Structure 1
Amino acid sequence: MSTFLEHIRLFPNSNKNIVHFMKRMLERLGLGNETYYPPSAWYIPPGYCLSKTRDEAEMVIFTIIDELLVKTRLNPDVIDILIVNCSLFNPTPSLADMIMRKFKLRGDIRIAQLFGMGCSTGIISVDLARNILQTMPYGAHALVMSTKILTGRYYMGRKHDDPQMLVTNALFRTSGAVVLLSTSRTKARFQLLHITRKSTGAKDNAYRCVFQQEDDEGYLGIHLSKALLDIAGKALKDNLTITGPLVLPNSELLSFLFSSITRKLFNTRTELYIPDFSKAFKHFCIHAGGRVVIDGVQRSLSLSYKHVEPSRMTLYRYGNTSSSSLWYDLAYTEAKGQMRKGDRVLMVGFGSGYKCNSAIWKCIQSIQNVDRAWADCIHRYLVDVFK
């Protein structure tokens, strides 16, 4: 963090107000000292050229796909579907084309790339892969790649009077996760039970709450609205209104219904009963979008600190890793040895637009191997984020 702040002091357009604001952000966001910026970030000013951005993408994407193919002993020729999502980097040829060229994938593979849909795109990609898999022969394979590429995506302005443009520089980090899906249960670790997608983009305030724009001096960045948490809370409520009846036990549904009827009939101001989602799920993977985001979901669902531990530790170790953060959460839970056969997992992702998407998984086979993302550090967790 100290090195990061020193670079900020030396950046063009920087001033003491920006340095002070970024220092406060780093203290409050819940990030640790091991999060990762790409090599281009350590130039002053940071590197912006397209070749360096491609270098970062290849470093992340090619490395983890190589690892997945080795881990699963899968020949690239059997991959039938490739879906890639990346919020801000959309080159020509596409990232999906880069993967196809590197791994010599078949010419008849079905390729899709999702761009500009924010941090919840990982679940959207899984949903798209599921829908395509259902049209293909039994045993087809889909590769879903989620990544965050930062080179050339820094806000270089000086809007200390409108700090929402500066927050993303302190929050987002380079990351990537790749997932293999199939209609075959052979070697499967998880079964996808249900996906719920909810978008509130028809409302102006929701549409503009995470907005890429130029400031009045022409510097490009992402503006985060002060209403973001309220909008995210409403999107979460809309999503769980659909998901809850599918998974909650009857006792929780009846308690919620009785609470709602009582408030309407007697016009009382008593708090509405919040169903206990821990009775439906053993584990929770919440998008590690920031400390306040995790706090908000924890309060909304009345979860314990243990339930949100994977999200807090992912944020601390890796920062906001956008659409890949849910997979870092899941890998953390497995690395701690907490996943058991039959456990159900709720993934909740938030993204620009504004979207709240959720996925429900059931563990089919627990593993003993620790994912490399946590292999060299899991012995140091849990840590006190706020000390």
Structure 2
Amino acid sequence: MVISLMEDVKQLWLFHQHNIFIYAAIMILVSLLYMATRPSTIYLLDHCCYRGQPHQKARFHQFMEHSSKVDDFHESSLEFQRRILERSGIGEETYVPSGMCEIPPCMSLAFAREEAHQVIFGALDSLFLKTSINPKDIGILVINCSLFNPIPSLSSMIINKYKLSKTIKNFTLSGMGCSAGIISIGLARDLLRIHRTTSYAVVVSTENITQNWYFGNNKSMLIPNCLFRVGGAAILLSNNSGDRRRAKYKLLHVVRTHHGDDDKSFYCIHQDQDKDGKVGISLSKDLTWIAAEALKANLTTLGPLVLPIREQLYFITVWVRRMLLGDKVRPYVPDFKLAFMHFCIHAGGKALIDKVRKELRLLAVHVEPSRMTLHRFGNTSSSSIWYELAYIEAKRRMRKGHRVCQLSLGSGFKCNNAVWEALSDIKPTPTVPWDDCIHRYPVET
């Protein structure tokens, strides 16, 4: 009987043997197809922020002294700038360009190029030193700078300085405001996923303010003089799974929303000429309200990607009740503290940080990196979120598995965010911009 059973099994195997090989081949083919088409995980190996030179520090009395020697400013304009400085949340150790340290200030192209060289090369030199990466191994380069666009481009300037590969895919993003840093990250991510043979991408986020200082008397255009300061960051990304062990973070999401179809949003941050023909950046009185509306739209898209199911269901329930009963039901703002341990909110100004904190019902510790970055470095535009991430790391608060939301707002009007997950406990390194002053923070602002 045993012999008969074994014979039956043998016959069954011979009968299905051909089909089993076909099934196995199909499974292998499907697995290979999945591996080839699934999105690559993008890793952040490291990031470095530029810190200005001591002689560039903008002490309040020096700032006002230099401003008073500009004949174009009326007395009321000087008093207005003094009040803005006192209420801005900015400290006295921020940096201005070398051209602004001259008396009278010098806004020449040469000084603008000097600022670009100092900031961009300073951040990249630190990045290459920390990561030991060979610049020739970089396959993708993305730089964003809204207000300074020389010829050749800023990306070409970097390629020339570091003798990058002749086949490098390089991009220079201009005119996209303070939220352009996240746009650059999103572009680099997409390119790394398309060009799978390329391992490394470098993103540089900065702003150049030498030629964009306003010397007129329109108060809405004077505010940027008091808030914007020198700064920049360089970020190294990789699509190589072998880099996971030495990477700091992996990228989970990039969410972008744009309200440029609305006129109020479009014109709330606007480069224009005043009645005397002087060019400046005008900030609308409605800026914080417009930012709040853009934030709500952005978080509506982000929420389903990051919030726990229970929180999503509660939000949908309240939304349906409001649709049926109208304003009788109070709107519910999801608790994003359940999704993120840390927040890096663009340090655009004290009022902006306060507004975002109120909208998201955040605690003081969640906005501390933004407030302290504003105090120490000022509004460094698109790079501010990287100074904030460096602050969290310098405070030794980033642990394995922690999620951090980088949230940026800027002209257009745009609200963008990037979500990262820490792959290990992050320890500060000597090259972070906070290394010699972190012990003094947080401070009262």
TM-score, with structure 1 as normaliser = 0.96
CA distance in 2, matches of 1:300, 1:380: 29
Question: Radius of gyration: which is bigger?
Answer: 2
Call closer, same or farther: CA 1:362–1:4 in 2, change over 3 Å.
Answer: same
- 1:231 to partner: Cα distance: 1.2
Which amino acid letter does the alignment assign opposite residue 384 of structure 1?
E
Aligned with residue 57 of structure 1, among 92, 99, 116: 116
Q: What CA distance in whole angstroms lies between the structure 1 residues aligned with 2:88 and 2:332?
A: 30
Deviation per CA, 1:7-26: give whole Å up to 9, x if none: 11111211220111111101
Contact 2:321 2:329 in 1 (8 A): no
Answering whether residue 329 of structure 2 is matched by residue 263 of structure 1, we say no
In structure 2, distance between residues paired with 1:348 and 1:333: 15
**Distance (Å, rounded) in 1 between the aligned partners of 2:269 and 2:146:** 12
Aligned counterpart, 2:277: 218
> What is the aligned counterpart of 2:135 among 72, 76, 81?
76
Q: 1:169: which partner in 2?
A: 225
Shift of 1:250: 1.7
Matched, 1:282 2:338: no
- Greater CA deviation, 225-234 or 276-285? 225-234
Query: Separation in 2 of the partners of 1:249 and 1:369?
Result: 31
Aligned to 1:223, the other structure's residue is in SS state strand
Q: Which of the numbers 18, 22, 34 marks the counterpart of 2:93?
A: 34
Alignment correspondent of 1:375: 435
Quote the offset at 1:372 in angstroms: 2.4
Cα distance, 1:208–1:268 mapped onto 2, change above 3 Å: closer
- 2 CA distance for matches of 1:270 and 1:17? 47
Provide the aligned length of Structure 1 versus Structure 2: 382
Q: Where does the alignment leave 5 or more consecutive residues of structure 1 unmatched?
A: none
Once the two structures are superposed, the pairs formed by residues 231-270 of structure 1 within 5 Å of their partners are: 231-270=290-329
Contact 2:394/2:432 (CA < 8 Å) preserved in 1?
no
Measured after TM superposition, the shift of residue 268 of structure 1 is 4.5
Counterpart AA for 1:381: Y
1:347 aligned residue: 406
> 2:361 pairs with 302, 308, 333, which one?
302
Partner of 2:382: 323
User: In structure 2, what is the Cα distance between the partners aligned to 1:352 and 1:267?
Assistant: 32
Per-residue deviation, 1:245? 1.0
Q: CA offset at residue 260 of structure 1?
A: 2.5
2:147 matches 1:91: no
- Preserved contact between residue 12 and residue 45 of structure 1 (Cα < 8 Å): no
SS in 1 for 2:92: coil
Q: Paired residue for 1:108, among 164, 167, 172? A: 167
Deviation at 1:269, TM superposition (A): 3.6
Q: Which residue of 1 aligns with 2:215?
A: 156
Superposed CA offset, 1:147-196 (max 9, x none): 1211111011122xxx1111000000010100001102412111000111
State whether residues 341 and 404 of structure 2, in contact with CA within 8 Å, keep that contact through their aligned partners in structure 1. yes
Verify the 8 A CA contact 2:139 2:198 in the aligned structure 1: no
SS at match of 2:254: strand
Structure 2 gaps, min length 5: 1-59
Give the corresponding residue for 2:65: 6
Whether 1:178 aligns to 2:237 is no
- Opposite residue 225 of structure 2, the aligned amino acid is N
Runs of 4+ in 1 over 6 A off after TM superposition: none
Alpha-carbon distance in structure 1 between the residues aligned to 2:412 and 2:365: 30
One-letter amino acid matched to 1:178: A
The match for 2:103 among 44, 54, 57 is 44
Q: Give 1:270 shift.
A: 4.5
Once the two structures are TM-superposed, the CA of residue 66 in structure 1 deviates from its matched residue by 0.8
Superposed CA offset, 1:346-378 (max 9, x none)? 111111111000111111123323342100100
Q: Which amino acid aligns with 2:97?
A: P
Q: Deviations over 1:319-368 (max 9, x none)?
A: 00100001011000000000001111111111111100011111112332
Aligned partners of 1:288 and 1:294 also within 8 Å:
yes
C-alpha deviations, 1:184-241, integer Å up to 9, x for none?
2412111000111101111111111110011010100001111111111111111111
- Match for 2:75: what amino acid? K
Question: In structure 2, what is the Cα distance between the partners aligned to 1:211 and 1:171?
Answer: 16
Per the alignment, residue 13 of structure 2 pairs with none
Q: Which stretch shifts more, 59-68 or 268-277?
A: 268-277
Q: Quick one: which of 123, 126, 135 aligns to 2:185?
A: 126
- Identity, % of aligned positions: 48
Counterpart among 326, 343, 352 of residue 293 in structure 1 = 352
Amino acid at match of 2:199: A
